[in-house]
Amino acid sequence: MSRRSERITLQARDSNTPEPTVRAPLRKRKSEPSKKKLQPSAKKQSYEIQKCWSEDGPSPCVLIETPHKELEPADPSSFKQYTFKNLFIKASPIPRLSWASSDDMWIKMLNKELKYVHDKGYLQRHPKLQPKMRAILLDWLLEVSEVYSLHRQTAYLAQDYFDRFMLTQQNVNKDYLQLIGISALFIASKIEEIYPPKIFEFAYVTDGACDVWDIQRTELHILKALDWNLCPETPISWLKLYAQVEAQRDGENFLVPQFSQETYIQITQLLDLCMMDISSLDYSYSVLAAAAFCHFSTFDVVHKVSGLTWESVAPCVRWMSPFMDTLRSEARPQLKNFPKVKADDRHNIQTHVAYLDLLRKAQERQVDSSDCQMSPVAVGPILTPPTGLKQRRTLPLHCLTCGPACWTASSEPVLFSGNFM
């Protein structure tokens, strides 16, 4: 049976104008019910869509991109209003590219700062959780990332997924934080890694606390809660852009890293330590990366590569100073060799040091310093994972309130209506 060849049209109709006369069809058609005319008082436009077909099948359609929904808390009044004073219209610091528009890339990166919402106020929705529990979990995830030679971007994606997921939940029990964290790392590894570890390997490092079924079910719950928005610009991606723009020379391939690997891993260690403090969520990821870069360079360079003003970066630079002072008292990080990792890619692999101990020292410096913003993390002894874990390749996570590694997930989590209990 042949079909009439027509076009898909979207026509705006003014309510005050009479309907156009329709020519008599060439072929006899079934009578259609008369459409109700719009009242003149309703001064809104209506649209008429005509479905049409070509002789060979459906005619091609034009897809129009629709705005993405931002992830917002259920009760915005209980959270801090996140302002973006650092976002502005300016020339892109990215050099001219032959394979893409540098302006388009820059605008897309800035737009992601508005799309992906993070706020430390999510702890208000979880009375049973404390900031130090998040620090212990992130420290463990960094250690797992080093064991499996995962990239830094993978670890930071997992951190972003965890924080944004917790923003959509309420009354989460501490017994399920490890399950949520390892599931977030599993998702991030599939996004970033070429050869991600298998799911049973992620279950193995929990030392029996989580099984494959738990991770699969939690993975689906996280994806639905995040509305499948899985590609934020993390502090690592911003830092790599800043470092590359600063080191870029004319005629060099922008995709080939030109910056110093030794300096880069020092800045990333500062970022790792700062991200474990929940107060880091007060700042956008681009500002965090710029503030860390500022501690290893001058602000003139930071302004050149980021376009940020001193007023937007200065609060984060001052907040980050105790963390930088703590790292200055430690030995400089060294590039590590990883199996099956090329020498020019070693700086991209996530590493782990005694971050919990460094975090405690940095928080003590914050207490002693009157110029720095106080961190809400309670100052006190924080338990570290047992020694010799990397040889065993099983990384049991310590209980968040007591000493032994008794954190288990024996009871199945109940997932419903935004609750993870």
Local confidence pLDDT in tens for the 421 residues of the chain: 554 444 444 444 444 545 555 555 555 445 444 444 444 444 444 334 344 444 444 444 433 344 444 444 445 554 444 444 444 456 788 888 777 888 888 889 889 988 998 899 999 999 999 999 999 999 999 999 999 999 999 999 999 999 999 999 999 999 999 999 999 999 999 999 999 999 999 999 998 889 999 999 999 999 999 999 999 999 999 999 999 988 887 767 777 778 889 999 999 999 999 999 999 999 999 999 999 999 999 999 999 999 899 999 999 999 999 999 999 999 999 999 998 899 989 999 999 999 999 999 999 998 877 544 444 443 333 333 333 444 444 555 655 544 334 443 333 443 333 445 4
- Rounded to whole angstroms, how far apart are CA atoms 199 and 189? 10
User: Among candidates 245, 243, 313, 316, which has minimal Cα distance to 275?
Assistant: 316
- Rounded to whole angstroms, how far apart are CA atoms 359 and 329? 13
- Rounded to whole angstroms, how far apart are CA atoms 289 and 268? 9
Q: How many residues does this entry show for the chain?
A: 421
User: pTM for the complete prediction?
Assistant: 0.71
User: Among candidates 361, 367, 368, which has minimal Cα distance to 382?
Assistant: 361
- The answer to whether 270 and 235 have CB atoms below 8 angstroms apart is no
User: Which residues lie below 8 Å from residue 226, measured CB to CB, with a gap of 6+?
Assistant: 71, 161, 164, 165, 168
- Rounded to whole angstroms, how far apart are CA atoms 381 and 369? 20
Helix (H, G, I), strand (E, B) or coil at 188: helix
Q: Are strands 415-416 and 46-50 parallel, antiparallel or unpaired?
A: unpaired
Query: Tell me, what DSSP letter sits at residue 296?
Result: T
Q: What is the CA 54 to chain-centroid distance, rounded?
A: 44
Q: Which pLDDT belongs to residue 392?
A: 40
Tell me the domains of the chain and their CATH numbers. 92-420 (1.10.472.10)
Q: Which pLDDT belongs to residue 251?
A: 67
Q: Which pLDDT belongs to residue 252?
A: 72
- Rounded to whole angstroms, how far apart are CA atoms 145 and 274? 17
- Rounded to whole angstroms, how far apart are CA atoms 184 and 181? 5
